[in-house]
Structure 1
Amino acid sequence: MQPFPRITVEVPVLGVGSGPADYEGLAQRVDSLRRVGGLHMTLLHIGILEDFSRDVTEWTKGITSADAAARETVRWLRSLPVLGAFSGTSDRLIVLGGGRIAGLEVDVPQQVHDFQVSLVEGLRVLLDGLLVDNVDDFILSSPALGFRYPHWVPHVAVGRPKSRSRGPVGIPPMTVAFGESRVRNGRFLPAVD
Protein backbone atom coordinates (compact mmCIF):
# COMPACT_ATOMS: atom_id res chain seq x y z
CA MET A 1 0.00 0.00 0.00
CA GLN A 2 1.33 3.43 -0.98
CA PRO A 3 1.99 5.64 2.08
CA PHE A 4 0.15 8.95 2.15
CA PRO A 5 2.47 11.86 1.26
CA ARG A 6 3.36 14.67 3.64
CA ILE A 7 1.92 18.05 2.75
CA THR A 8 4.03 21.15 3.27
CA VAL A 9 4.19 24.69 1.94
CA GLU A 10 7.76 25.12 0.75
CA VAL A 11 10.13 26.90 -1.57
CA PRO A 12 12.48 24.81 -3.76
CA VAL A 13 16.23 25.51 -3.74
CA LEU A 14 17.38 26.49 -7.24
CA GLY A 15 21.07 26.86 -6.41
CA VAL A 16 23.61 27.05 -3.60
CA GLY A 17 26.78 29.14 -3.82
CA SER A 18 28.48 30.22 -7.01
CA GLY A 19 28.85 26.67 -8.35
CA PRO A 20 28.64 22.96 -7.48
CA ALA A 21 31.97 23.01 -5.58
CA ASP A 22 30.57 25.43 -2.97
CA TYR A 23 27.79 23.05 -2.02
CA GLU A 24 29.86 19.88 -2.37
CA GLY A 25 32.37 21.39 0.07
CA LEU A 26 29.79 20.85 2.81
CA ALA A 27 30.57 17.11 2.60
CA GLN A 28 33.49 17.85 4.94
CA ARG A 29 30.97 18.53 7.70
CA VAL A 30 27.87 16.64 6.55
CA ASP A 31 27.28 12.92 5.91
CA SER A 32 24.85 11.78 3.20
CA LEU A 33 24.85 15.21 1.55
CA ARG A 34 21.55 15.56 -0.31
CA ARG A 35 21.35 16.47 -4.00
CA VAL A 36 20.80 20.17 -4.66
CA GLY A 37 17.87 19.31 -6.94
CA GLY A 38 15.86 17.91 -4.03
CA LEU A 39 16.54 20.67 -1.48
CA HIS A 40 13.78 22.93 -0.20
CA MET A 41 12.87 25.21 2.69
CA THR A 42 9.67 24.35 4.54
CA LEU A 43 7.50 27.36 5.37
CA LEU A 44 4.64 25.39 6.96
CA HIS A 45 4.28 21.69 7.67
CA ILE A 46 0.76 20.24 7.58
CA GLY A 47 1.80 16.58 7.61
CA ILE A 48 -0.26 13.75 6.25
CA LEU A 49 -3.73 15.14 5.47
CA GLU A 50 -5.54 12.13 6.95
CA ASP A 51 -3.55 12.43 10.20
CA PHE A 52 -4.15 16.17 10.41
CA SER A 53 -7.90 15.69 9.82
CA ARG A 54 -8.00 12.98 12.49
CA ASP A 55 -6.21 15.31 14.95
CA VAL A 56 -8.90 17.95 14.32
CA THR A 57 -11.70 15.42 14.83
CA GLU A 58 -10.19 14.14 18.07
CA TRP A 59 -9.56 17.67 19.38
CA THR A 60 -13.16 18.74 18.62
CA LYS A 61 -14.50 15.47 20.07
CA GLY A 62 -16.18 14.67 16.76
CA ILE A 63 -17.90 18.02 16.24
CA THR A 64 -15.81 18.46 13.08
CA SER A 65 -15.61 15.28 11.02
CA ALA A 66 -12.36 14.16 9.44
CA ASP A 67 -13.97 14.52 6.00
CA ALA A 68 -14.98 18.12 6.69
CA ALA A 69 -11.53 18.93 8.09
CA ALA A 70 -9.81 17.42 5.04
CA ARG A 71 -12.15 19.19 2.59
CA GLU A 72 -11.68 22.64 4.20
CA THR A 73 -7.92 22.14 4.53
CA VAL A 74 -7.60 21.27 0.83
CA ARG A 75 -9.64 24.36 -0.09
CA TRP A 76 -7.39 26.49 2.11
CA LEU A 77 -4.19 25.03 0.66
CA ARG A 78 -5.38 25.59 -2.90
CA SER A 79 -6.25 29.23 -2.15
CA LEU A 80 -2.85 30.18 -0.70
CA PRO A 81 -1.00 33.05 -2.34
CA VAL A 82 2.37 32.37 -3.95
CA LEU A 83 5.60 33.81 -2.58
CA GLY A 84 7.85 34.92 -5.43
CA ALA A 85 11.40 33.68 -5.98
CA PHE A 86 14.09 35.17 -3.71
CA SER A 87 17.65 34.68 -2.52
CA GLY A 88 19.12 34.33 0.95
CA THR A 89 22.57 33.83 2.44
CA SER A 90 24.02 31.20 4.72
CA ASP A 91 27.22 31.17 6.73
CA ARG A 92 26.58 28.37 9.19
CA LEU A 93 25.31 24.85 9.64
CA ILE A 94 22.88 24.12 12.45
CA VAL A 95 21.75 20.84 13.99
CA LEU A 96 18.04 19.96 13.85
CA GLY A 97 15.76 17.05 14.61
CA GLY A 98 17.38 16.12 17.91
CA GLY A 99 20.82 15.97 16.30
CA ARG A 100 19.88 13.85 13.30
CA ILE A 101 19.77 16.58 10.65
CA ALA A 102 22.29 19.18 9.50
CA GLY A 103 20.80 22.29 7.97
CA LEU A 104 21.98 25.48 6.36
CA GLU A 105 20.59 28.32 8.45
CA VAL A 106 19.50 30.90 5.89
CA ASP A 107 19.17 34.64 6.34
CA VAL A 108 16.11 35.46 4.21
CA PRO A 109 14.44 38.76 3.24
CA GLN A 110 11.78 40.17 5.57
CA GLN A 111 8.99 39.37 3.10
CA VAL A 112 9.75 35.66 3.56
CA HIS A 113 9.33 35.96 7.33
CA ASP A 114 6.12 37.93 6.75
CA PHE A 115 4.81 35.27 4.35
CA GLN A 116 5.58 32.48 6.84
CA VAL A 117 3.78 34.40 9.60
CA SER A 118 0.79 34.86 7.27
CA LEU A 119 0.71 31.09 6.69
CA VAL A 120 0.55 30.43 10.43
CA GLU A 121 -2.14 33.09 10.83
CA GLY A 122 -4.08 31.50 7.97
CA LEU A 123 -3.73 28.11 9.67
CA ARG A 124 -5.17 29.65 12.85
CA VAL A 125 -8.15 31.01 10.90
CA LEU A 126 -8.65 27.60 9.23
CA LEU A 127 -8.59 25.82 12.59
CA ASP A 128 -10.97 28.34 14.15
CA GLY A 129 -13.37 27.67 11.26
CA LEU A 130 -13.02 23.94 11.96
CA LEU A 131 -14.23 24.68 15.54
CA VAL A 132 -10.87 23.92 17.17
CA ASP A 133 -10.70 25.66 20.54
CA ASN A 134 -7.35 26.75 22.00
CA VAL A 135 -5.89 26.92 18.50
CA ASP A 136 -2.32 27.64 19.65
CA ASP A 137 -2.40 24.62 21.99
CA PHE A 138 -3.64 22.48 19.11
CA ILE A 139 -0.87 23.74 16.79
CA LEU A 140 1.83 22.90 19.35
CA SER A 141 0.38 19.50 20.26
CA SER A 142 -0.95 18.07 16.97
CA PRO A 143 1.24 15.08 16.02
CA ALA A 144 0.49 15.69 12.32
CA LEU A 145 1.65 19.32 12.39
CA GLY A 146 4.78 18.34 14.29
CA PHE A 147 5.50 21.84 15.65
CA ARG A 148 8.27 21.59 18.21
CA TYR A 149 8.93 25.28 18.72
CA PRO A 150 6.76 28.33 18.17
CA HIS A 151 9.68 30.19 16.50
CA TRP A 152 10.47 29.44 12.84
CA VAL A 153 14.15 29.21 11.88
CA PRO A 154 14.68 29.48 8.10
CA HIS A 155 16.81 26.50 7.09
CA VAL A 156 17.49 23.93 4.40
CA ALA A 157 18.12 20.35 5.56
CA VAL A 158 21.23 19.09 3.73
CA GLY A 159 22.17 15.76 5.36
CA ARG A 160 23.38 14.31 8.68
CA PRO A 161 25.92 16.10 10.87
CA LYS A 162 29.35 14.44 11.08
CA SER A 163 30.04 16.04 14.44
CA ARG A 164 28.13 15.32 17.64
CA SER A 165 28.38 19.00 18.49
CA ARG A 166 24.98 20.64 18.97
CA GLY A 167 26.20 24.16 18.29
CA PRO A 168 26.27 25.97 14.96
CA VAL A 169 29.32 25.53 12.72
CA GLY A 170 30.61 28.41 10.62
CA ILE A 171 31.00 27.86 6.87
CA PRO A 172 32.13 30.15 4.04
CA PRO A 173 29.23 32.50 3.19
CA MET A 174 27.14 31.38 0.24
CA THR A 175 24.02 32.55 -1.54
CA VAL A 176 20.99 30.26 -1.64
CA ALA A 177 18.50 30.88 -4.47
CA PHE A 178 14.87 29.82 -4.02
CA GLY A 179 11.97 29.44 -6.45
CA GLU A 180 8.30 30.31 -5.94
CA SER A 181 6.40 28.77 -3.04
CA ARG A 182 4.35 25.67 -3.70
CA VAL A 183 2.31 23.04 -1.90
CA ARG A 184 4.50 19.97 -1.82
CA ASN A 185 2.60 16.86 -2.95
CA GLY A 186 -0.35 19.10 -3.83
CA ARG A 187 -1.13 16.84 -6.79
CA PHE A 188 -2.10 14.12 -4.31
CA LEU A 189 -4.71 16.25 -2.56
CA PRO A 190 -8.26 15.00 -3.13
CA ALA A 191 -10.67 16.86 -5.37
CA VAL A 192 -13.20 19.00 -3.49
CA ASP A 193 -16.34 20.74 -4.72
Structure 2
Amino acid sequence: MATMTGSNATAGKPHGTRITVEVPVLRVGAGPSEYEGLNRFVDALRKPQGLHLTLLHVGIFEELGRDIDAWTKGLSPPEKTLPEIASWLTELPVLQGFLGKSDKLIPLGGGRLLGLEVDVPQEVHDYQALLVQGLHVLLDDLGLDNIDDFILSSPALGYRSPRWLPHIAVGKARTRHEPEMEIAPVAIEFGDSRIRNREALPEPE
Protein backbone atom coordinates (compact mmCIF):
# COMPACT_ATOMS: atom_id res chain seq x y z
CA MET A 1 0.00 0.00 0.00
CA ALA A 2 1.42 3.33 -1.01
CA THR A 3 1.72 6.09 1.55
CA MET A 4 -0.07 8.99 -0.10
CA THR A 5 -0.17 12.53 1.10
CA GLY A 6 -1.12 15.82 -0.42
CA SER A 7 0.70 18.97 -1.23
CA ASN A 8 -0.31 22.37 0.09
CA ALA A 9 -0.84 23.71 -3.41
CA THR A 10 -4.20 25.34 -4.04
CA ALA A 11 -4.00 26.15 -7.74
CA GLY A 12 -7.18 25.27 -9.61
CA LYS A 13 -8.99 24.13 -6.48
CA PRO A 14 -12.67 24.90 -5.87
CA HIS A 15 -13.67 27.15 -3.02
CA GLY A 16 -14.87 25.34 0.09
CA THR A 17 -13.82 24.08 3.48
CA ARG A 18 -10.33 22.59 3.37
CA ILE A 19 -9.70 19.94 6.01
CA THR A 20 -6.25 18.77 7.06
CA VAL A 21 -4.69 17.00 10.00
CA GLU A 22 -1.73 19.18 10.93
CA VAL A 23 0.61 20.28 13.70
CA PRO A 24 1.13 24.00 14.44
CA VAL A 25 4.59 25.52 14.51
CA LEU A 26 5.24 27.00 17.94
CA ARG A 27 8.75 28.29 17.38
CA VAL A 28 11.35 28.49 14.61
CA GLY A 29 14.90 28.81 15.88
CA ALA A 30 15.77 30.79 18.96
CA GLY A 31 13.14 33.48 18.40
CA PRO A 32 11.24 35.67 15.93
CA SER A 33 14.37 37.20 14.40
CA GLU A 34 15.65 33.82 13.24
CA TYR A 35 12.43 33.13 11.35
CA GLU A 36 12.32 36.67 9.96
CA GLY A 37 15.79 36.06 8.55
CA LEU A 38 14.18 33.77 5.96
CA ASN A 39 12.66 36.89 4.43
CA ARG A 40 15.77 37.31 2.29
CA PHE A 41 14.86 34.14 0.37
CA VAL A 42 11.19 34.86 -0.40
CA ASP A 43 8.95 37.62 -1.76
CA ALA A 44 6.44 37.53 1.09
CA LEU A 45 7.16 35.69 4.34
CA ARG A 46 4.13 34.09 5.98
CA LYS A 47 3.13 35.20 9.46
CA PRO A 48 4.67 32.84 12.03
CA GLN A 49 1.35 32.24 13.83
CA GLY A 50 -0.07 30.56 10.73
CA LEU A 51 2.78 28.12 10.12
CA HIS A 52 1.97 24.41 10.24
CA LEU A 53 3.10 21.00 9.03
CA THR A 54 0.43 18.91 7.29
CA LEU A 55 0.22 15.27 8.34
CA LEU A 56 -2.78 14.32 6.20
CA HIS A 57 -4.50 16.34 3.50
CA VAL A 58 -8.21 15.49 3.38
CA GLY A 59 -9.11 18.21 0.90
CA ILE A 60 -12.11 20.37 0.19
CA PHE A 61 -14.67 18.56 2.31
CA GLU A 62 -17.79 19.22 0.27
CA GLU A 63 -16.01 18.37 -2.98
CA LEU A 64 -14.60 15.17 -1.46
CA GLY A 65 -18.14 13.96 -0.86
CA ARG A 66 -19.01 14.60 -4.49
CA ASP A 67 -15.85 12.87 -5.69
CA ILE A 68 -16.71 9.76 -3.66
CA ASP A 69 -20.28 9.85 -4.97
CA ALA A 70 -19.04 9.94 -8.56
CA TRP A 71 -16.41 7.21 -7.98
CA THR A 72 -19.01 4.84 -6.50
CA LYS A 73 -21.61 5.76 -9.16
CA GLY A 74 -24.03 7.04 -6.53
CA LEU A 75 -23.72 4.15 -4.09
CA SER A 76 -22.02 6.36 -1.46
CA PRO A 77 -23.72 9.78 -1.54
CA PRO A 78 -22.35 12.76 0.43
CA GLU A 79 -25.13 12.66 3.02
CA LYS A 80 -23.83 9.20 3.97
CA THR A 81 -20.09 9.61 3.55
CA LEU A 82 -19.38 13.05 4.98
CA PRO A 83 -20.70 12.35 8.50
CA GLU A 84 -18.67 9.11 8.55
CA ILE A 85 -15.51 10.91 7.46
CA ALA A 86 -16.15 13.58 10.09
CA SER A 87 -16.59 10.91 12.77
CA TRP A 88 -13.32 9.23 11.77
CA LEU A 89 -11.44 12.52 11.86
CA THR A 90 -12.72 13.63 15.24
CA GLU A 91 -11.87 10.24 16.80
CA LEU A 92 -8.24 10.27 15.67
CA PRO A 93 -5.66 10.08 18.47
CA VAL A 94 -3.67 13.25 19.12
CA LEU A 95 0.02 13.30 18.26
CA GLN A 96 1.88 15.04 21.06
CA GLY A 97 4.12 18.01 20.28
CA PHE A 98 7.67 17.31 19.14
CA LEU A 99 10.91 18.92 17.95
CA GLY A 100 12.17 18.93 14.38
CA LYS A 101 14.93 20.64 12.43
CA SER A 102 15.55 22.02 8.97
CA ASP A 103 18.57 23.00 6.91
CA LYS A 104 16.95 23.32 3.48
CA LEU A 105 14.43 25.47 1.62
CA ILE A 106 12.57 23.66 -1.16
CA PRO A 107 10.12 24.72 -3.91
CA LEU A 108 6.47 23.78 -3.33
CA GLY A 109 3.20 24.01 -5.23
CA GLY A 110 4.78 23.78 -8.65
CA GLY A 111 7.38 26.38 -7.69
CA ARG A 112 5.00 29.08 -6.45
CA LEU A 113 6.04 28.69 -2.81
CA LEU A 114 9.13 27.98 -0.77
CA GLY A 115 9.11 25.82 2.31
CA LEU A 116 11.36 24.37 4.96
CA GLU A 117 12.01 20.67 4.48
CA VAL A 118 11.78 19.28 8.00
CA ASP A 119 13.47 16.32 9.66
CA VAL A 120 10.98 14.89 12.17
CA PRO A 121 11.22 12.03 14.69
CA GLN A 122 10.35 8.52 13.56
CA GLU A 123 7.19 8.52 15.66
CA VAL A 124 5.85 11.34 13.49
CA HIS A 125 6.40 9.25 10.36
CA ASP A 126 4.71 6.32 12.10
CA TYR A 127 1.71 8.46 13.07
CA GLN A 128 1.38 9.84 9.55
CA ALA A 129 1.51 6.32 8.11
CA LEU A 130 -1.28 5.28 10.49
CA LEU A 131 -3.37 8.21 9.27
CA VAL A 132 -2.97 7.10 5.67
CA GLN A 133 -3.74 3.48 6.55
CA GLY A 134 -6.85 4.66 8.40
CA LEU A 135 -7.93 6.71 5.38
CA HIS A 136 -7.62 3.63 3.18
CA VAL A 137 -9.75 1.57 5.59
CA LEU A 138 -12.33 4.34 5.78
CA LEU A 139 -12.62 4.67 2.00
CA ASP A 140 -12.91 0.90 1.69
CA ASP A 141 -15.75 0.93 4.23
CA LEU A 142 -17.45 3.66 2.18
CA GLY A 143 -17.57 1.34 -0.83
CA LEU A 144 -14.63 2.59 -2.90
CA ASP A 145 -12.48 0.33 -5.02
CA ASN A 146 -9.01 1.07 -6.44
CA ILE A 147 -8.45 3.40 -3.49
CA ASP A 148 -4.90 4.43 -4.39
CA ASP A 149 -6.16 5.51 -7.82
CA PHE A 150 -9.00 7.46 -6.21
CA ILE A 151 -6.67 9.30 -3.83
CA LEU A 152 -4.37 10.39 -6.65
CA SER A 153 -7.19 11.35 -9.03
CA SER A 154 -9.69 13.06 -6.70
CA PRO A 155 -9.73 16.82 -7.49
CA ALA A 156 -10.79 17.52 -3.90
CA LEU A 157 -7.86 15.70 -2.34
CA GLY A 158 -5.38 17.26 -4.75
CA TYR A 159 -2.66 14.70 -4.01
CA ARG A 160 0.42 14.93 -6.20
CA SER A 161 2.82 12.34 -4.83
CA PRO A 162 2.73 8.91 -3.16
CA ARG A 163 5.51 9.98 -0.77
CA TRP A 164 5.15 12.19 2.29
CA LEU A 165 7.74 14.94 2.58
CA PRO A 166 7.47 16.83 5.88
CA HIS A 167 7.58 20.56 5.10
CA ILE A 168 6.38 23.99 6.20
CA ALA A 169 5.39 26.52 3.55
CA VAL A 170 6.97 29.81 4.57
CA GLY A 171 6.44 32.22 1.69
CA LYS A 172 6.03 33.08 -1.96
CA ALA A 173 8.92 32.17 -4.22
CA ARG A 174 10.62 35.03 -6.04
CA THR A 175 10.44 33.07 -9.31
CA ARG A 176 8.86 29.78 -10.38
CA HIS A 177 12.32 28.30 -10.86
CA GLU A 178 13.83 28.72 -7.41
CA PRO A 179 16.20 25.81 -6.62
CA GLU A 180 16.59 24.02 -3.33
CA MET A 181 18.71 26.11 -0.98
CA GLU A 182 20.83 25.04 1.96
CA ILE A 183 20.39 27.22 5.05
CA ALA A 184 21.93 27.28 8.51
CA PRO A 185 20.29 24.49 10.56
CA VAL A 186 17.30 25.68 12.55
CA ALA A 187 15.35 23.91 15.30
CA ILE A 188 11.55 23.89 15.03
CA GLU A 189 9.09 23.26 17.85
CA PHE A 190 5.68 21.79 16.99
CA GLY A 191 2.49 21.61 19.05
CA ASP A 192 -0.09 18.81 19.34
CA SER A 193 -1.86 17.62 16.21
CA ARG A 194 -5.21 19.17 15.32
CA ILE A 195 -7.86 19.22 12.59
CA ARG A 196 -7.91 22.40 10.53
CA ASN A 197 -11.47 23.80 10.21
CA ARG A 198 -12.77 21.18 12.63
CA GLU A 199 -15.73 23.43 13.45
CA ALA A 200 -16.93 23.12 9.83
CA LEU A 201 -17.30 19.34 9.99
CA PRO A 202 -20.85 17.97 10.05
CA GLU A 203 -22.09 16.38 13.23
CA PRO A 204 -21.41 12.60 13.15
CA GLU A 205 -24.55 10.49 12.98
One fold, TM greater than 0.5? yes
The aligned residue for residue 40 of structure 2 is 28
Q: Which portions of structure 1, spanning 4 or more consecutive aligned residues, are displaced by more than 6 angstroms?
A: none
Determine which of 72, 86, 94 is the counterpart of 2:98.
Answer: 86
The aligned residue for residue 119 of structure 2 is 107
**Counterpart of 1:98 in structure 2: which amino acid?**
G
Q: Distance in 2 between matches of 1:121 and 1:26?
A: 35
Taking structure 1 as the reference length, what is the TM-score of the superposition? 0.96
Would the aligned equivalents of 2:114 and 2:170 in 1 still touch at CA under 8 Å? Answer: yes
Q: Distance in 2 between matches of 1:112 and 1:93?
A: 20
Q: Distance in 1 between matches of 2:35 and 2:178?
A: 21
Change (3 A) 1:76 1:11: same
Q: Distance in 2 between matches of 1:88 and 1:167?
A: 22
Give unmatched runs, 5+ long, in structure 1: none
Would the aligned equivalents of 2:112 and 2:175 in 1 still touch at CA under 8 Å? Answer: no
Is 1:73 aligned to residue 85 of structure 2? Answer: yes
SS in 1 for 2:160: coil
Q: Distance in 2 between matches of 1:151 and 1:166?
A: 22
Would the aligned equivalents of 1:29 and 1:163 in 2 still touch at CA under 8 Å? Answer: no
User: Kindly, what percent of the aligned residue pairs are identical?
Assistant: 57
Is 1:142 aligned to residue 154 of structure 2? Answer: yes
Q: Distance in 1 between matches of 2:69 and 2:90?
A: 21
1:148-187 counterparts in 2 under 5 A? 148-187=160-199
Q: Distance in 2 between matches of 1:91 and 1:122?
A: 31
SS in 2 for 1:148: strand
Q: 1:162: Cα distance to partner? A: 2.2
Is 1:50 aligned to residue 62 of structure 2? Answer: yes
SS in 2 for 1:12: strand
Q: 1:30: Cα distance to partner? A: 1.1
Q: CA RMSD in A?
A: 1.1
Taking structure 2 as the reference length, what is the TM-score of the superposition? 0.90
Q: Distance in 2 between matches of 1:9 and 1:136?
A: 19
